[in-house]
Chains A and B, each alone.
Chain A
Amino acid sequence: MEYILEAKQLRKEYQDKVALKGLDLQISAGEIFCLLGQNGAGKSTTINLFLGFIQPSSGAAYINGYEVASNVTQVKEYLAYIPENVMLYPNLTGMENLALFSSLAGFDYSKEELMHYLVQAGLPADAVSRRVGGYSKGMRQKVGIAIAVAKHAKVLLLDEPTSGLDPKASNEFSELLLNLSQQGTAIFMATHDIFRSKEVGTRIGIMREGELVDVQPAANLNANELENLYLNYMHVAR
């Protein structure tokens, strides 16, 4: 089976620390994989390796069948990324920021289309023409979501994407993820939010000290069971 997103014995070592210990992972089209773990567990390292921001010490990450390390620019055509804290060009408007990132991804949208993506992501219509320097964190996050959605990527990499969103916007974001998943987008989400994971995830992984210690289908667990499982692993870690 062809996986959209795959890691084979993916390992990352720094001078005095092993950040990721031989990760094996396969994610198919339409799947939402939620990765839970404490700070420093290796979630962001995994995402950075898939993005090609850092080079693996050994093993390989693949996106749409291409090894990331040797095809860094090419694989980015297939992925979109929403960081924990979306930072944009403060002197440009929300619409100009979206136009920039969309055009770099190869999409030349009209103003109406740009407006549609921004409003769909939850940004108030009257804010799209204001400079981003005056946006709240939540508003920037919504522009980040619009950038990711407008890219029509096969893979969506999310690093704490709902950080800074209010509950209503978080809920809308969950619906958006489910919608994208139904359209065939593979989603990899690193998060601390157990309940959001249970709500949207197809599979849920738990990472501890650079190691993927457990992977469960989300359907097999209810929220309480997932929380207990997670806390048990974290307790062992302590």
Chain B
Amino acid sequence: MKKFWILIKFEWLNFRADKGLLILTILTLFAGLYGIYYGTTEINRQQENIAALDVLTEQNIEELKAKYPNGTDAGDIGYYHTTFAVNHPDSWASLSLGQRDVNPYYIKLRLLNLQSQLYDTENINPLKVLSGNFDLAFVLVYLFPLLIIGLCFNILSVEKEQGTLPLLLSQPIGLPLIVGAKLTFRMMLVLGMALLLSVVAMVWGQVSPDMRVAFWLSVVVLYCLFWFGVAFVVAALQKNSAFNAITMLGVWLLLTIIIPALLNVYIAVKQPMPQALELTIKQREVVHGGWDKPKRETMDKFFALYPQWTDTTEIQGRFAWRWYYAFHHLGDVAVADLALDYQEGLQARHQLVEQLNVWSVPVNVQTIFNAMAGSDLPSYVSFLQSATQYHDSLREFYYPFLFNQVNFTNADYVNEPRHSFTSSPDFATVHAGLYKLALSVLLVFAVGMLLFRRIKASVK
């Protein structure tokens, strides 16, 4: 054991003197710190925007109170009053932004038809989406493997190429001890950095100190071990440094880019789903068609759904808010199946990703991180469902005013429902992902051990 630590000590001296490796390590460390800064800043920005929505809502109410000091038809309020469905970030979201930059984290809602509002979101800068999030999860999943490759590609081959292996092996130590010490030193360095960055991110992001601390750190350790396992397998082949570097970069390219791209194509083919645009167009056609249909026909359809309002007065004249909101709602009803298909399609695609990510450890780890941070697709779908329920509650709030033809007064605003949704972690996905990750680590080290024993050591 003493010799093991002697080797570790001299690995440190060698590392300290190697400017290339030092620069690579420091760059990765700074990338991690920037990732933490980026994630925290993005979530702070989203929280500030969400906080501003409350102010906007209050301003809107004050404007309406000034405009209608004696109250008005609830239809006016439903049309001009804006409220928001808000997806508050989980405290862990800054560590793994996931889809929070692609999917909206708030939806502006009025009493009008829901579906067109659900998908009527702000434009996204496509270049920003292309480059992706530079959060800590990105650094850990995509950049840390490159650091491990840089540190480990020549772990054994360098001893042969610089000719030090014969002298080293003439000491009373074996090749397994040498490789073990070299790997251990690099593991200590990389894991130390990865865990330090994770702890800094947790403190900086003020995450809730629950069991996810242990899950996150376990995933980080296992993921780094997986890449060390890859390095071990490649070292066990006992090829030259150039071969090792190309092989390891090839594995990185395969697992982080090629397989995810292929999975994406496969999932799109295997799980086709209606587009939100198609849904919106159909819904618009129904809603706009409502203007031209006989009012009686529209109202009969509506009353069939809401018989409690059947006894309310007849629609008279060219326009009535009750009729207007009725045909807006019928627009939603007309695409209800399509909307359900869309959301179920999103869920099904995500489930397919969870099944297939066994083929790409980085994709699996990214899935775990997103599930832990509540920034994955299922969380977004839950938010859409929550927004739908909120819209239902708005209708239930306004319908008595509309159909009983009761004036909406300034005193009624306080009773209007408000929405709040906070993304929550998906521990089932975390558990399943951890299990797969642990198996990947065991598998890769088992292959490495097998190769290491089968291929006879050569000092040349």
Partner-contacting stretch, out of B25-33, B164-172, B205-213, B221-229: B164-172
B1-58 interface (Cβ within 8 A of A): 3, 6-7, 10, 13-14, 17-18
- Separation of A92 and B16 alpha carbons in the complex (Å): 10
User: Is B173 in the interface zone, CB < 8 Å from A?
Assistant: yes
Task: Kindly provide the distance from the CB of B452 to the nearest chain A CB, expressed in whole angstroms.
Answer: 16
User: Given A74, A86, A92, which contacts B167 in the complex, CB threshold below 8 Å?
Assistant: A86
**Is the CB–CB distance between B167 and A88 below 8 Å?**
yes
Instruction: Count CB-based A-B contacts (< 8 Å).
Output: 72
| Contact A92:B3 (CB < 8 A) given known A87-B164, A104-B173 | no
**Is the CB–CB distance between B169 and A51 below 8 Å?**
yes
A85-132 interface (Cβ within 8 A of B): 85-92, 96, 100-101, 103-106, 131
**Is the CB–CB distance between B166 and A72 below 8 Å?**
no
User: Is A147 in the interface zone, CB < 8 Å from B?
Assistant: yes
User: Is A76 in the interface zone, CB < 8 Å from B?
Assistant: yes
Task: Kindly provide the distance from the CB of A72 to the nearest chain B CB, expressed in whole angstroms.
Answer: 7
CB-defined contacts of A55 to chain B, threshold 8 Å? 456
CB-defined contacts of B170 to chain A, threshold 8 Å? 51, 76, 79-81, 157
User: Is B417 in the interface zone, CB < 8 Å from A?
Assistant: no
User: Is A57 in the interface zone, CB < 8 Å from B?
Assistant: no
User: Is B353 in the interface zone, CB < 8 Å from A?
Assistant: no
**Is the CB–CB distance between B18 and A104 below 8 Å?**
no
**Is the CB–CB distance between B172 and A77 below 8 Å?**
yes
A54-82 interface (Cβ within 8 A of B): 55, 72-74, 76-77, 79-81
User: Is B250 in the interface zone, CB < 8 Å from A?
Assistant: no
**Is the CB–CB distance between A91 and B166 below 8 Å?**
no
- Of chain B, the residue at the smallest CB distance from A153 is B170
- Separation of A101 and B18 alpha carbons in the complex (Å): 20
CB-defined contacts of B18 to chain A, threshold 8 Å? 91
Interface centre among A89, A92, A147 (most CB of B within 10 A): A89
User: Is B174 in the interface zone, CB < 8 Å from A?
Assistant: yes
CB-defined contacts of B172 to chain A, threshold 8 Å? 73-74, 76-77, 104-106
Interface readout for B151-164 with A: 1 if CB under 8 Å, 0 if not? 00000000000111
CB-defined contacts of A87 to chain B, threshold 8 Å? 162-164, 166-167
- Of chain A, the residue at the smallest CB distance from B16 is A91
- Separation of A100 and B170 alpha carbons in the complex (Å): 13
User: Is A205 in the interface zone, CB < 8 Å from B?
Assistant: no
Task: Kindly provide the distance from the CB of B34 to the nearest chain A CB, expressed in whole angstroms.
Answer: 29
**Is the CB–CB distance between B174 and A81 below 8 Å?**
no
Interface readout for B132-164 with A: 1 if CB under 8 Å, 0 if not? 000000000000000000000000000000111
User: Is B459 in the interface zone, CB < 8 Å from A?
Assistant: yes
User: Given A72, A91, A104, A147, which contacts B3 in the complex, CB threshold below 8 Å?
Assistant: A104
CB-defined contacts of B456 to chain A, threshold 8 Å? 55
Interface readout for B308-328 with A: 1 if CB under 8 Å, 0 if not? 000000000000000000000
Interface readout for B169-194 with A: 1 if CB under 8 Å, 0 if not? 11111100000000000000000000
User: Is A144 in the interface zone, CB < 8 Å from B?
Assistant: yes
User: Given A48, A73, A131, A144, which contacts B174 in the complex, CB threshold below 8 Å?
Assistant: A73
- Separation of A73 and B18 alpha carbons in the complex (Å): 30
**Is the CB–CB distance between A85 and B13 below 8 Å?**
no
Task: Kindly provide the distance from the CB of B51 to the nearest chain A CB, expressed in whole angstroms.
Answer: 54
- Separation of A107 and B62 alpha carbons in the complex (Å): 84
**Is the CB–CB distance between A73 and B173 below 8 Å?**
yes
**Is the CB–CB distance between B10 and A96 below 8 Å?**
yes
**Is the CB–CB distance between A101 and B14 below 8 Å?**
no
- Separation of A76 and B170 alpha carbons in the complex (Å): 6
**Is the CB–CB distance between B164 and A88 below 8 Å?**
yes
**Is the CB–CB distance between B10 and A85 below 8 Å?**
no
Task: Kindly provide the distance from the CB of A176 to the nearest chain B CB, expressed in whole angstroms.
Answer: 18
- Separation of A144 and B166 alpha carbons in the complex (Å): 12
Task: Kindly provide the distance from the CB of B172 to the nearest chain A CB, expressed in whole angstroms.
Answer: 4
User: Is A83 in the interface zone, CB < 8 Å from B?
Assistant: yes
Task: Kindly provide the distance from the CB of A109 to the nearest chain B CB, expressed in whole angstroms.
Answer: 13
**Is the CB–CB distance between A96 and B6 below 8 Å?**
no
- Separation of A104 and B172 alpha carbons in the complex (Å): 7
Interface centre among B14, B18, B172 (most CB of A within 10 A): B172
Task: Kindly provide the distance from the CB of A150 to the nearest chain B CB, expressed in whole angstroms.
Answer: 12
Task: Kindly provide the distance from the CB of B143 to the nearest chain A CB, expressed in whole angstroms.
Answer: 25
Task: Kindly provide the distance from the CB of B179 to the nearest chain A CB, expressed in whole angstroms.
Answer: 14
- Separation of A48 and B174 alpha carbons in the complex (Å): 15
Task: Kindly provide the distance from the CB of B161 to the nearest chain A CB, expressed in whole angstroms.
Answer: 9
Task: Kindly provide the distance from the CB of B457 to the nearest chain A CB, expressed in whole angstroms.
Answer: 8
User: Given B6, B163, B169, which contacts A100 in the complex, CB threshold below 8 Å?
Assistant: B6
**Is the CB–CB distance between A89 and B14 below 8 Å?**
yes
- Separation of A79 and B171 alpha carbons in the complex (Å): 8
- Separation of A20 and B17 alpha carbons in the complex (Å): 42
**Is the CB–CB distance between B17 and A92 below 8 Å?**
yes
**Is the CB–CB distance between B167 and A147 below 8 Å?**
yes
- Of chain A, the residue at the smallest CB distance from B170 is A81
User: Is A53 in the interface zone, CB < 8 Å from B?
Assistant: yes
- Separation of A121 and B276 alpha carbons in the complex (Å): 80
User: Given B6, B162, B459, which contacts A104 in the complex, CB threshold below 8 Å?
Assistant: B6
**Is the CB–CB distance between A83 and B17 below 8 Å?**
no
CB-defined contacts of B171 to chain A, threshold 8 Å? 76, 101, 104-105
Q: 3 closest A-B pairs (Cβ-Cβ)?
A: A87-B163, A91-B17, A81-B170
* 16 additional contacts (CB under 8 A) given A90-B162, A92-B13, A96-B13: A55-B456, A73-B173, A73-B174, A76-B169, A76-B170, A77-B172, A81-B167, A87-B162, A87-B164, A88-B167, A89-B164, A92-B10, A92-B14, A103-B3, A104-B168, A147-B167
A-B contact pairs, 15 of them (CB 8 A): A53-B459, A73-B173, A81-B167, A81-B170, A83-B166, A87-B163, A87-B164, A88-B167, A90-B162, A91-B18, A92-B13, A100-B6, A100-B10, A104-B168, A104-B171
